[in-house]
Amino acid sequence: MNDTKAWEVDTLRGHFNNVSCVMFHPKKELILSNSEDRTIRVWDVTKRTGIHTFRRENDRFWIITAHRSSNLIAVGHDAGMVVFKLDCERPLAQCHGHSLFVVQDREVQVVDLDKGLKGVQLGSCRRAANAMTAGLKSLQFNTYNPTETNILVFYTQDGGCYDLFVGASNITADTNISPKQGNAQGLVGGNITLTSEQVTIMKKHRNIVLCGPNAAGKTTLLYKLKLPNEKTTVMPTIGFNVESIQYNLQVFDIWDLGLRSKARPLVRHYIPTCHAVALMIDVHDDDWLDAEDFFELILHNLDDHNLHVPLLIWVNKMDLPVKVQPHEVCERLKLEQHARCRPIHVQPCIALNDEGLKEGLDFLGAAIAGEIPFGLTLASTPETSKPASTTRGIAPPAKPSPAGGEVPKSDEVFLEAFEAGELPSFGPKEMMRLAFLQRRRGGTAQMTLQAAKLAGYVKHATRMHFWASRVFETPLESAETSLAFLAKHPDLFPEDADAQEALVAAAYSERVDTDPTWALVAQPPDRLHSGREADAAFLARVEELMIEADELSSFRSLVRLAFTLLCQQDRKSAIKRLDTALQKLAEGWTTPAGESALRPFHETRQYVALQLAHLALTQCPELKTGSFSKLEERCPDLCDEDCIFKYYSEEVLQNGRKAFVPPDREPLPSVVK
pLDDT digits (tens, 9 = 90+) for 598-615: 345 688 888 888 888 888
- Rounded CA-CA distance 656/647 in Å is 13
* 17-66 confidence digits (pLDDT tens): 888 899 888 877 888 898 888 888 888 887 777 777 877 767 788 888 88
* 637 assigned to a ligand binding site: no
Identify residue 673 by its one-letter amino acid code. K
Write the burial class of residue 153 (CB in 10 Å: 0-12 exposed, 13-18 middle, 19+ buried). Answer: buried
214 known ligand binder: yes
Q: Which of 458, 461, 488 is nearest to 474 (CA)?
A: 488
For the segment 139-146, the average pLDDT, to the nearest whole number, is 74
- Which residues lie closer than 8 Å to 493 by C-beta, 6 or more apart? 428, 429, 432, 467, 470, 486, 500
219 annotated to a ligand binding site? yes
Query: Among residues 458, 400, 401, which one has the least CA distance to residue 434?
Result: 458
The pair phi, psi for residue 250, each rounded to 5°, is -125, 155
Q: Are 153 and 162 in contact (CB under 8 A)?
A: yes
Per-residue pLDDT band for 3 (boundaries 50, 70, 90) equals low
CA nearest to 377, candidates 336, 349, 328: 336
CB 474 within 8 A of CB 489: yes
Could you give the 3-state DSSP secondary structure of residue 377? strand
Q: Is 215 annotated as a binding residue?
A: yes
pLDDT band per the 50, 70, 90 thresholds, residue 303: confident
Task: Tell whether 317 is in a known binding site.
Answer: yes
Query: What is the edge-to-edge ordering of all strands in the sheet holding 136-141?
Result: 136-141, 148-155, 161-168, 180-183
Tell me if 212 is assigned to a ligand binding site. yes
Task: Report the share of the chain in percent with pLDDT over 70.
Answer: 76
Q: What is d(CA 640, CA 8) in angstroms, rounded to the nearest whole number?
A: 68
Rounded to whole angstroms, the Cα distance separating 256 from 268 reads 14
| pLDDT reported for residue 277 | 92
DSSP 355: B
Mean pLDDT calculated for residue range 557-577: 83
CB 43 within 8 A of CB 22: no
Provide φ and ψ at 60, rounded to 5°.
-90, 145
Residue-wise pLDDT for 317-376, tens only, equals 888 887 777 877 887 888 877 887 888 998 989 888 888 888 899 899 888 888 788 888
Can you give 546-603 as a three-state secondary structure string?
A: CCCHHHCCCHHHHHHHHHHHHHHCCHHHHHHHHHHHHHHHHHHCECCCCCECCCCCCH
85 is in an annotated binding site: no
Question: Is 18 labelled a binding residue?
Answer: no
Beta strands in 56-202 (DSSP E): 61-66, 72-77, 80-85, 93-96, 99-104, 107-112, 119-124, 136-141, 148-155, 161-168, 180-183, 191-193, 199-201
Confirm whether residue 190 is marked as ligand binding: no
Consult the annotation and say whether 514 binds a ligand: no
Q: Is 217 annotated as a binding residue?
A: yes
Distances (CA, A) of 58 to 63, 77, 78, 85: 16, 10, 9, 21
Q: What is the pLDDT of residue 189?
A: 38
Q: What is the DSSP letter of 382?
A: P
Q: What CA–CA distance (Å, rounded) separates 203 from 183? A: 17
**Residue 299, C-beta contacts closer than 8 angstroms, at least 6 positions apart:** 338
Please state, in angstroms and rounded to a whole number, the distance separating the CA atoms of residues 212 and 220: 13
- In whole angstroms, give the CA distance from residue 2 to residue 635: 73
| 1 in a labelled binding site | no
What is the pTM assigned to this prediction?
0.40
- Is residue 216 a known part of a binding site? yes
